[in-house]
Structure 1
Amino acid sequence: MTIDEAIKAMQNIDLVLSVTDSEHEAARMAISALRAQQERENPQPLTLEELRRMDGEVVYIPESEEYFGGMGIVSVSQERVMDVGVPKFGYWLFREYGEGWRAYRSQRNLLIPTMERRKESDRE
């Protein structure tokens, strides 16, 4: 069973079998946990609209052929994500979003390879 199938099954269980408020709450909690697991296992890049709604929040950006990777803080007023890594490499512009760089809510396996490469280059 996939996570999507499990979510649909829990939604049906909630509609058909849940009678009390605590049963409804338990079903909603299970669905929420399944969605969180799904996001961890298969993170999806944010849309530009989602990124714009995250002003002041940290996002994770995997390295690509054109852009360095790292983590940064969304700055809607500056139309960019400002790098907060060490060392700081600069920023990622909103107008270039999707054309070489993408941002994620979850850092699952996205930031780690970049940090390992930085550590290796520090040793040389």
Structure 2
Amino acid sequence: MSKKAEIDLGDVESKLKGNTLRLYWYMVKVAHPVTINEAQKSLKLSSPGLAAYHLNKLRELGLVEKTSQGEYRIVEEVKIGVLRSFVRLYSFMVPTYVFYAVFFTALLIIFFSLFYESSPYSKLVYHIGMLNSSRNFLV
């Protein structure tokens, strides 16, 4: 049975909150093994013991594993909660709305470069397109 099948997403979603979620989000963003001290300093936690507690909580959920050097690395990347609206693009976590915003802006530019004066509805389409593009950038 694979690791993915062993992870209960309902259980993970109910337990992955607060500092544990912040730590998991940090580990997904940096994409390299994290030590207890690095986790404590980067999240500004009060003590290394608190960082170790949250790392062990992630380990019990099956999301991270402890290496022989004492570092913790992500075993399974799950998309729950706020993480559903992000996509990994190389080493960056990008909101999915960026793709929609770029797409509609490109369509708007193409439309006006080709059809600006050819229709009486051009200004209406222009305003609707601008509203849609700006809405996508703001979300």
Shorter-chain TM band = under 0.3
Q: TM-score, normalised by structure 1?
A: 0.26
Q: Over alpha carbons, which structure has the higher Rg?
A: 2
Of Structure 1 and Structure 2, the greater helix share is in 2
Q: TM-score, normalised by structure 2?
A: 0.24
